[in-house]
Amino acid sequence: MSFFLTLRKCILALLFLSVTLFFNIGSADGISKRLLKRSRYCRNYPESMPPYRLHRETGRCYQVGESGPCPPLMKFTLEDDTFGVCDCDLSQRCGRPLIFWPSRNRCYRVYEQGPCRDGKWLVFGFDLEPVCKKNVCEEDEQRHPSTTSRYWFNINQTCYRTNSRGYCSDADDMLFNVNHHYRPTCQKSVDCGEINTMQTSKCLPGQRLDVLGQCKRRFIALRNTSKPLQIHVTKKPTNIYCLFCDEKKPQHYKI
């Protein structure tokens, strides 16, 4: 009896492995090979890399990674093996994060007015949700206007400017936003990392998936209160295989 139970477990394990391999072996840049094929709705378009995907709102196909039908600061993004969607341009995140605003279906730079009323600016809330708050650095901005990568932000009621030493204790450090963080940190060198032209849906603060609640977060309280709060952000599991294999490991963010 135990022999047959063991055999059954082995067969199930092999079946699961074969399904996983079918979808994931041969992937490029951590993306399942199945997702690199041309959408069944885009057969009249050339088979290319990055592939074409159907945009639901316009009913047309666009190439992944292009601006396509998307507003400024957004790129046409690989959603699955059929559809694409407009999401915040990952190549624009380094230096200044972007935030997706659902009611306008647009992305805005953090710490700018964006969709907010006069006197307010768009920021990340306590649990990283996008909110409009009073712009406490308005006078500083009038004297020295923010730019794409050099902008004002506040911690409590104190204003700082990126690409400056700010509150960094080391004279060689400067405040900078690396592409997967949601606010500036003290950095000795600017390194945005490699940006993949095959833009896929990512669970990063401010990106579409995260704002729409399709990412999960695990808050880890630290004993030493002088250290920042750790937040682990990963995609909610949807299938027995991974759609975006490079996101098996959680991303780590700090408050």
Using one digit for the tens of pLDDT, what is the confidence trace for 177-197? Answer: 877 778 888 888 776 766 666
Q: What percent of the chain has pLDDT over 70?
A: 68
Contact 164, 187 (CB under 8 A): no
| Pairing of β 52-55 and β 60-63 | antiparallel
pLDDT at position 155: 87
Query: Which residues is 208 bridged to in the sheet?
Result: none
pLDDT at position 197: 64
Query: How big is the chain, counted in residues?
Result: 255
Closest to 193 measured CA to CA, from 91, 120, 103: 91
Query: What's the mean pLDDT in 111-121?
Result: 95
Contact 86, 75 (CB under 8 A): yes
pLDDT at position 37: 75
Using one digit for the tens of pLDDT, what is the confidence trace for 119-170? Answer: 999 999 877 889 999 999 999 999 999 988 799 999 888 999 999 999 898 8
Query: What's the mean pLDDT in 208-229?
Result: 64
Output 223 or 66, whichever has higher pLDDT: 66
The Cα–Cα gap between 11 and 5 comes to: 10
Q: Can you tell me whether residue 5 is helix, strand or coil?
A: helix
